[in-house]
């Protein structure tokens, strides 16, 4: 942010911002990303972020049961993270270009070449997510 205003601060730890005062653990987000991307793929790229999170968390919602998505391999595999954490991961994947939203009124998650490389394990994500 300082660079934007033409300023420089050489010490990487300013000691004043929330990142420096309360640093959080960072972790490789590849496994979490693969779970999300796999779920998007297995649900046919026809659902939005909230639905994908519900599948990952093993929700027994009527819509998931009607679509038989409780039978998918990705159903319930995301219980190590909370709903807000999964939502945050999906927002990051969108921001980093691993998935995109299609549609205006009811946007659905879609895969692309970048996400397919992560799914096929030929590429790791280039982001280290903040820890819990």
Residue 41 has pLDDT above 90, yes or no: yes
Mean pLDDT of the chain: 86
Cβ neighbours of residue 13 under 8 Å, at least 6 residues apart? 20
Say which CATH architecture domain 26-119 belongs to: Orthogonal Bundle (1.10)
The two tokens of residue 42 are 């297995």
pLDDT at 131 over 50: no
* Cβ-contact 120, 129 below 8 angstroms: no
Give pLDDT, residue 28. Answer: 80
Considering only 3-17, 49-63, 68-82, 110-124, which range has the smallest mean pLDDT?
3-17
Collapsed DSSP state (helix, strand, coil) of residue 35? helix
pTM of this prediction exceeds 0.75: yes
pLDDT (mean) for 94-117: 94
């Amino acid at each position: 942010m300082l660079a934007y205003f033409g300023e420089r601060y050489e010490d990487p730890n300013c000691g004043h911002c929330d990142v420096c005062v309360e640093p959080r653990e960072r972790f490789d987000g590849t496994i979490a990303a693969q779970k999300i991307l796999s779920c998007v793929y297995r649900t046919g790229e026809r659902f939005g972020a909230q639905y994908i999170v519900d599948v990952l968390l093993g929700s027994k919602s009527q819509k998931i049961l009607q679509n038989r998505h409780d039978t998918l391999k990705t159903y319930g595999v995301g219980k190590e993270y909370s709903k807000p954490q999964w939502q945050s991961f999906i927002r990051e994947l969108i921001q980093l270009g691993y998935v995109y939203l299609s549609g205006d009124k009811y946007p659905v998650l879609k895969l692309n070449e970048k996400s397919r490389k992560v799914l096929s394990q030929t590429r790791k994500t280039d982001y280290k997510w903040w820890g819990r």
